[in-house]
């Protein structure tokens, strides 16, 4: 018997910019695709520095997780792709405002040569359902 995999869609987050799901739920986990700092209403990149873009990307991630029956508080793993690792300290300030629980999620942050829509960052996550 195979495990059911459920697609997740949220109108409160930007629609995918390619052939992928915002998230999928399988085995009690939510696998959220990378979220860019796009305004969900317009689909356009928000203007501003790394803090503004990080706030928007994390808000988008939160909306997708909520649609999946989870939340930022249930995140166990995060990957952050930064256009410039010099933005690391400012990212951490924003990140700490959103991920307040203990323990903090496991995380990897890497510099990417380029991101879709010329965004400053992209964030994906794995979270527990419920």
Instruction: Give the tens place of pLDDT for each residue, 12-31.
Output: 999 998 899 999 999 999 99
Q: What is the pLDDT of residues 31-90, one digit of tens each?
A: 999 999 999 999 999 999 999 999 999 999 999 999 999 999 999 999 999 999 999 999
124 contacts 79 by C-beta, under 8 angstroms = yes
**Is 87 in a helix, a strand, or coil?**
helix
Q: What pTM was estimated for this model as a whole? A: 0.95
CATH of domain 6-128: 3.30.1330.40
How does strand 6-8 pair with strand 23-26? antiparallel
């Amino acid at each position: 018997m195979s495990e059911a995999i459920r697609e997740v869609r949220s109108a409160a987050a930007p629609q995918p910019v390619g052939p992928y799901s915002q998230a999928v739920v399988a085995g009690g986990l939510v696998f959220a695709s990378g979220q860019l700092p796009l305004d969900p209403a317009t689909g356009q990149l928000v203007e501003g520095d790394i803090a503004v873009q990080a706030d928007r990307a994390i808000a988008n991630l939160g909306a997708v997780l909520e649609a999946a029956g989870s939340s930022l508080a249930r995140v166990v793993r995060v990957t952050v792709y930064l256009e410039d690792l010099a933005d690391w300290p400012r990212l951490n300030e924003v990140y700490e405002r959103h991920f307040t629980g203990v323990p903090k999620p496991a995380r990897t942050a890497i510099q990417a040569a380029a991101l879709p829509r010329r965004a400053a960052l992209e964030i994906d996550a794995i979270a527990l359902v419920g």
